[in-house]
Chain A
Amino acid sequence: MIRRDNLASDVLKVLALSDVHFRIEGKKIMYN
């Protein structure tokens, strides 16, 4: 479980896997 009061960037770090990469650009989460 992940606390919702984390920053989006911190939540994405938890979700990041070897084949999952995220970056945040303004109001967008870019997934590649």
Chain B
Amino acid sequence: MNPLYVIHPFRWAGYPDGELTGEAFFDIAKDATHPFKVRIGNRLIEVLGTSFNVQAYTDEQSMQTTLINGAVKVNAGEQSSVLAPGQQAGISNQPGAALKVTKADNLRQVTAWKDGLFFFHDNDIETVMRQLARWFDVDVVYEGKKTTNLFPV
């Protein structure tokens, strides 16, 4: 089975920064003397005592950081934003893209994966199938016209 996330290399001794590809949920205690940072490409998430979800799949068009509680600071190049609980910072994978902060539509949907669930809410067929392809480590082949229905219907 395809692992849902890969974290490498976490330097737990001295500099607890990490690099992330995939998806991970962080639940981190506040420790001012040992700040925790996560790098994703040129983006840096600075953890201030918090729980949050990061989605950074290479087959998605953007990276999403969703704050559940506490606070995180998301840096992307010259841009940065401190999120409030329930907010989501998204940035396209395109070079020079702007960091956009919005209210997360559905926190349960964001964190369902860590509870072993698929949670589809107004998702199109391609979004649904990308999740299945990653989880089951398969390719999806579209032979006919894609439905315009959103899942679940």
Contact = CB atoms under 8 A, between A and B. Distances in A.
Contacts of A15: 128, 151
Interface of B: 112-113, 116-120, 125, 128-129, 132-133, 135-144, 146-147, 149, 151, 153
A19 B140 contact: no
Contacts of B118: 1-4, 11
Contact of A31 (B116, B143, B151, B153): B143
Taking each of A2, A4, A27, which has the highest tally of chain B beta carbons within 10 Å of its own beta carbon?
A: A4
17 contacts: A3-B116, A3-B118, A4-B116, A4-B135, A5-B116, A8-B136, A8-B138, A15-B151, A17-B153, A19-B147, A20-B149, A24-B138, A27-B138, A28-B141, A29-B136, A30-B141, A31-B143
A30 B147 CA distance: 14
Contact of A1 (B119, B132, B136): B119
B121 to A, nearest CB: 10
Interface residues of A, number: 19
Contacts of B119: 1
Contacts of B146: 31
Contacts of A12: 132
B138 A11 contact: no
A26 B142 CA distance: 15
Contact of A20 (B113, B125, B136): B125
Contacts of A2: 117-118, 120
B108 to A, nearest CB: 9
A27 B125 CA distance: 19
